[in-house]
Amino acid sequence: MSAAPEQPLKNKADSNTAAPNQGNAIALNDVNYHYADANSSGLYIPTWKVNYGDRVFLHGHSGSGKTTLLNLLAGVLTPQSGELSLLGKPFSALSARQRDKFRAQHIGVVFQQFNLIPYLSVLKNIELATYFAKAGKTNITDAAEALLTGLNLPATILQQPANALSVGQQQRVAIARALINKPEILLVDEPTSALDAAARDAFMTILIDMCKQHNTTLIFVSHDMYLKKFFETSVEMSSLKGSSLKQSSLIQPAETK
């Protein structure tokens, strides 16, 4: 059977038809992903929904499937079966090229490795995100300065190379890059592991405030239970056993304070 012809994605203004704070920003139904390596854990999620603007702390021990789930939400991985929808769109049904475009336009991603290009300036690193999103922004410098100010970084670092910054500064630049296109969804994976306690708390406060200001749906992955206090909603992932997955034990219902 031949594949259906690829339909072009509309631009951001046209493609995001869901009204703010209505419906689900993220919806998973019978999503199943398994690795080719039989020794690697798989992931099965019967159902999980996240509303627009929710800020979710996703936690579990190492190997429980946190990063696998984040990669599914980012479109880096695609489920073998089931439905994964983002912003009302059938994300898992898109082609790889469509997923890349959708991610660039609607999703901000910050992984443990910040993936800043060391020899480029902070501004050039942030500009790359708008290039991949084909955002066509003409006031990148102003927008970047505003984000850096909100993240308690001086605008003067815009012209500094990324490798001249401290780890904490690089982390905040990575957040600014993830937010420059005003994504509806922000995916963050273990961003505080390299920070001391004071820097960690300051970063978390700023991140949550930024997401509140922009009504950004935040999925924050960590094994550090201390960070749970910054969130109103937490979701715990139980152990994932690959071939012996239990439908009822993969994701526990969200706890709301």
Q: What structural domains and CATH numbers belong to the chain? A: 54-67+107-256 (3.40.50.300)
**What H or E segment, with its residue span, contains residue 109?**
strand 107-110
What pLDDT does residue 206 have? 86
Among the ranges given (11-25, 113-127, 182-196), the one the predictor scored with the smallest mean pLDDT: 11-25
Structure tokens that stand for 250 in this block = 């993969």
What pLDDT does residue 8 have? 45
Phi, psi of 253, deg, nearest 5: -55, 145
**What H or E segment, with its residue span, contains residue 32?**
strand 24-33
Question: For residue 135, what pLDDT band results from cuts at 50, 70 and 90?
Answer: low
Phi, psi of 179, deg, nearest 5: -100, -10
**Mean pLDDT to the nearest integer, 97-105:** 91
Structure tokens that stand for 24 in this block = 């689900």
Among the ranges given (8-12, 92-96, 143-147, 197-201), the one the predictor scored with the smallest mean pLDDT: 8-12
What pLDDT does residue 136 have? 57
Interhelix angle for 96-106 vs 122-133, to 10°? Answer: 130
What pLDDT does residue 171 have? 85
d(CA 106, CA 206): 21
What pLDDT does residue 40 have? 66
Chain centroid, CA 200 distance in Å:
19
What pLDDT does residue 19 have? 43
Among the ranges given (23-27, 68-72, 186-190, 191-195), the one the predictor scored with the smallest mean pLDDT: 191-195
What pLDDT does residue 249 have? 35
d(CA 225, CA 129): 31
**Mean pLDDT to the nearest integer, 21-33:** 85
All residues at 6 or more sequence positions from 94 whose CB lies less than 8 Å from its CB, including other chains:
9, 75, 102
Question: For residue 34, what pLDDT band results from cuts at 50, 70 and 90?
Answer: confident
**Mean pLDDT to the nearest integer, 155-168:** 92
d(CA 219, CA 79): 19
Of 161 and 197, more confident:
161
Amino acid present at 170: Q
